[in-house]
Structure 1
Amino acid sequence: MGRVSQAQAEENRKRVVETASRLFREQGTHVSVADLMKAAGFTHGGFYKQFASKEALIGEATTHAFDGFTQRRDAGLERHAGQREAAQTALIDGYLSTEHRDSPADGCPVAALATDMAREPGDHEARRAYTEGVRDFAEWLDTEDEDGVTRLCTMVGALVLARATKGSPLSEEILATARAALTASD
């Protein structure tokens, strides 16, 4: 098999990062390199031609997940003609929905990666990207009346608990209760 062009190599790398971003949110960062590369449609051997280590990929995939989340959040602000409170309410409604609960691979990296990031060293690129993403999201949730960190903690905690109790009536109750608490004053 011949060498791939630089453009194709970049596309392949992008596909691996996108796949890793989804798999890590869905299954955790313990996913093996072999399984990850298979899901991306490549052989295990090609991994080390593209990445220095799995840790380096975790950092890139975390950054990618937050970049995508920020783009969706900003698009919501545009849909609401720059009305931040309306965009926040819409985001909260979507965040605390059964659809988001049931789709961790496409969902918020804050909730999906929290446990894995707690195990990463403080100086690791993934931990840095995660911390910046959490800080940015909390700042975006700030209002004149409510602290963004409090709102974020409520949202993430509710989503994690709803995912852990999925299949029981408690799961929907957790989502509805948190959604009502966060949007009652809106």
Structure 2
Amino acid sequence: MSQPSRKELTRERIVTAAARAIRRGGYAGVGVADIMKEAGLTHGGFYAHFDSRDAMLAAAMEQAGRDSSARLARRMAGRRADGDSPLRAWVETYLSDTHLPRLEEGCPIAALASEMPRQSPDVRGVAARRVSTMIEAIQQVLPASAGSHAAAAIVSTLVGALQLARTLGDNAEGRAVLAAARRSVLDQYDHEGQDNKPHLPH
């Protein structure tokens, strides 16, 4: 396998910086000059890698989604090894107390959903694919008895609960919202005999 070129590595640095920045400050808070500075590059080199700011934002959303999915997958694997059902691993990981303050590293859907309607078609398209991917992932771990719209409803609960909890803050009130949402989803849909499993600290 060939090594990435210098240009490819530079583009990756820009996208990585932008992926953090969009979750930290929202799309409106992401300027080309700031991203290039964060990546340790000069502003003038931007257009060697992207045709526009929106092209960078779309790539950043893709990267943020991949990073978040990989991080969630690692934590879910640990919960599965401890005996959680696939659905419980998903819900307990996504709505964990540790996900609450990690805006810059966490799910880009929760961080950016309210801004999506005002973005370019390319950026909205990437975000829509991330939402569809999350719904499909939840669908795969639901019991057969769950209705056809259950996965979308669960994703709405997960994302909405995390957004509301972050509004309240990384405190008892915010964590209470996450706990209530966890209980609601798992009491309704987790039918693998673990309803009485104690909730461990997150």
Which range, TM-score by smaller chain? 0.7 to 0.9
CA RMSD of aligned residues (A): 2.2
What's the counterpart of residue 102 of structure 2?
A: 103
Q: Distance in 2 between matches of 1:117 and 1:69?
A: 18
From 136, 149, 160, the counterpart of 1:139: 136
Q: Distance in 2 between matches of 1:63 and 1:88?
A: 24
Write the letter of the residue equivalent to 2:35. Answer: L
| Percent of aligned positions that are identical | 33
User: In terms of mean alpha carbon deviation, does 135-144 or 163-172 score higher?
Assistant: 163-172
What does residue range 106-185 of structure 1 map to in structure 2 within 5 Å? Answer: 106-121=105-120, 124-142=121-139, 143=142, 144=144, 145=146, 147-185=150-188
Deviation sequence 1:64-106 (CA, Å, 0-9, x none): 222233444555676648x9x8233122112112211101111
Identify if the C-alpha distance between structure 1 residues 134 and 50 changes in structure 2 by more than 3 Å, giving closer, same or farther.
same
Q: Distance in 2 between matches of 1:162 and 1:77?
A: 21
Identify if the C-alpha distance between structure 1 residues 19 and 158 changes in structure 2 by more than 3 Å, giving closer, same or farther.
same
Write the letter of the residue equivalent to 1:140. Answer: A
Q: Distance in 1 between matches of 2:76 and 2:100?
A: 22
Task: Return the TM-score normalized by structure 1.
Answer: 0.85
Task: Return the TM-score normalized by structure 2.
Answer: 0.79
C-alpha contact (below 8 Å) 2:116/2:124 kept by paired residues: yes
Shift of 1:132: 1.0
Flag structure 2 segments of 5+ consecutive residues without an equivalent: 191-202
Identify if the C-alpha distance between structure 1 residues 23 and 96 changes in structure 2 by more than 3 Å, giving closer, same or farther.
same
Q: Report how many aligned residue pairs link the two structures.
A: 177
Moved over 4 A (4+): 72-79
Shift of 1:135: 0.9
